């Protein structure tokens, strides 16, 4: 998968996305400063959400449209929440320009066909399908028809939903797909992260896999990296004190910077499968055990566990030979501290 100039594959660094979502809190200036902060924090990309309240739901005030169930937004009506949270479309071009100036890849999650058409005018390099839209097959068809990489969150998906979404993309001639493990709780309990799914998503569906994370802190992104995630998306906010619908589960600049650093260190720690030692590691063998003379020995004396020992450092004979010489007779004299190489020296 290639998004703009960033190649995402099994060998590439993790592609780290800062999700703006509603964290502009209705201020264009805040949105601009958030993009700049995301760059400073080490993100590779900034992602928006492109919708209006009218493209997501109906302006209806009955019980069906009231949020409930123990969320951050309980008792709000869907229309009112989305009206508060949306990113004005007339900001997009400017925000895309700022991201480009900062050197960040910029793309968005569309929530209906009109959003896709609008984003096409901005030449987005990729599309994101949000967790709750994975069952919106007409939307996925339309996005896939644009022939650009598609990142799909799986927060509410069962296997059948994922299979259908992938089949839909492929039916439209688009196999450039990544799946993100996501827990659609806000914030998400760490015990529900199930990061073991990262590898299974990649293997089962033959795609790039990654993480869209709503847990608090960096632990889950680090674990995801170790388990093979190649994309990590995290909600990003300039300062949680500004508030807003997504503030409670978003990382600020200091936290995001620390997460990026931890992810990059985790990548280095994972490394590669290689049983060969580096020159520095080989030098470390100097501190391994080997056979040394532990007491002065005269010619004709017998080697015992007291006068011939396996000790550090590692310049003598390999310890595996110790039993071969115990009970044999010294053919020359030895001094305590001599490397035991062989009996002829």
- Give which of 199, 269, 169, 187 is closest to 234, Cα–Cα: 187
Are 52 and 85 a contacting pair, CB within 8 Å? no
Angle at 311 between CA 306 and CA 313, to 5 degrees: 145
Residue partners of 225: CB distance under 8 A and separation at least 6 = 14, 232, 263, 266, 267, 270
DSSP 328: P
Q: Is 286 helix (H, G, I), strand (E, B) or coil?
A: helix
DSSP 184-222: -SSSPPGGG--TTHHHHHHHHHTSEEEEEE-SSSSHHHH
- Does this model's pTM top 0.85? yes
Residue partners of 224: CB distance under 8 A and separation at least 6 = 181, 195, 198, 210, 211, 213, 232
CATH code of domain 2-51+86-270: 3.20.20.70
In the numeric block, which tokens belong to residue 160? Answer: 């059948």
Place of tokens 């869209």: 212
Per-residue pLDDT at 280: 87
Q: How many CA atoms lie within 13 A of 232 on its CB side?
A: 30
Q: Where are the domains of the chain?
A: 2-51+86-270, 275-345
Per-residue pLDDT at 272: 84
CATH code of domain 275-345: 3.90.1210.10
In the numeric block, which tokens belong to residue 246? Answer: 């997504």
Angle in degrees, 0-180, between the axes of helices 219-226 and 253-270, rounded to the nearest 10: 20
Are 322 and 303 a contacting pair, CB within 8 Å? no
Bridge partners of 47, per DSSP, are 19, 107
CA distance linking residue 67 with residue 8, whole number of Å: 37
Q: Is 230 helix (H, G, I), strand (E, B) or coil?
A: coil
Q: Is 320 helix (H, G, I), strand (E, B) or coil?
A: helix
Residue 191 φ/ψ, nearest 5 degrees: -70, -10
Question: Which residues of the chain are under the pLDDT cut of 70?
Answer: 342-345
What is the 3-state secondary structure of 68-98? CCCCCCCCCEHHHHHHHHCCCHHHHHHHHHH
Per-residue pLDDT at 343: 57
- Give which of 195, 191, 200 is closest to 212, Cα–Cα: 195
Per-residue pLDDT at 186: 73
Q: Which helix (H) or strand (E) holds 151?
A: strand 150-153
**pLDDT 10s digits, 14-30:** 999 999 999 999 999 99
């Amino acid at each position: 998968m290639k998004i703009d100039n960033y190649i995402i594959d099994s060998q590439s660094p993790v592609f780290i996305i800062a999700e703006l979502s509603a964290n502009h809190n209705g201020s264009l200036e805040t949105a601009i400063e958030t993009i700049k902060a995301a760059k400073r924090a080490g993100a590779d990309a900034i992602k928006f959400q492109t919708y209006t309240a009218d493209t997501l739901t109906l302006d209806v005030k009955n019980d069906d449209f009231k949020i409930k169930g123990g969320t951050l937004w309980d008792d709000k009506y869907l229309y009112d929440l989305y009206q508060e949270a949306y990113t004005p479309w007339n900001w997009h071009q400017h925000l895309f320009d700022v991201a480009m100036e900062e050197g960040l890849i910029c793309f968005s999650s569309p929530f209906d066909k009109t959003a896709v058409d609008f984003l096409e005018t901005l030449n987005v390099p990729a599309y994101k399908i949000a967790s709750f839209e994975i069952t919106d097959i007409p939307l996925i068809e339309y996005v896939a028809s644009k022939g650009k990489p598609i990142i799909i969150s799986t927060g509410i998906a069962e296997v059948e939903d994922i299979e259908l979404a992938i089949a839909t993309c492929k039916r439209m001639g688009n196999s450039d797909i990544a799946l993100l493990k996501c827990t659609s709780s806000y914030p998400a309990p760490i015990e529900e992260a199930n990061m073991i799914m990262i590898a299974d998503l990649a293997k089962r569906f033959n795609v790039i896999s990654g993480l869209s994370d709503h847990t608090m802190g960096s632990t889950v992104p680090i674990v995801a990296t170790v388990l093979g995630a190649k994309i990590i998306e995290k909600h990003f906010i300039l300062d949680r004190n500004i508030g807003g619908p997504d503030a409670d589960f978003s990382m600020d600049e200091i936290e995001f910077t620390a997460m990026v650093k931890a992810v990059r260190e985790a990548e280095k720690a994972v490394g590669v499968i290689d049983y060969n030692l580096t020159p520095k590691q080989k030098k470390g063998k100097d501190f391994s055990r080997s056979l040394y003379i532990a007491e002065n020995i005269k010619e004709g004396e017998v080697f015992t566990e007291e006068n011939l020992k396996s000790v550090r450092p590692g310049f003598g004979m390999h310890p595996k030979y110790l039993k071969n010489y115990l009970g044999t007779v010294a053919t020359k004299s030895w001094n305590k501290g001599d490397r035991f190489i062989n009996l002829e020296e």
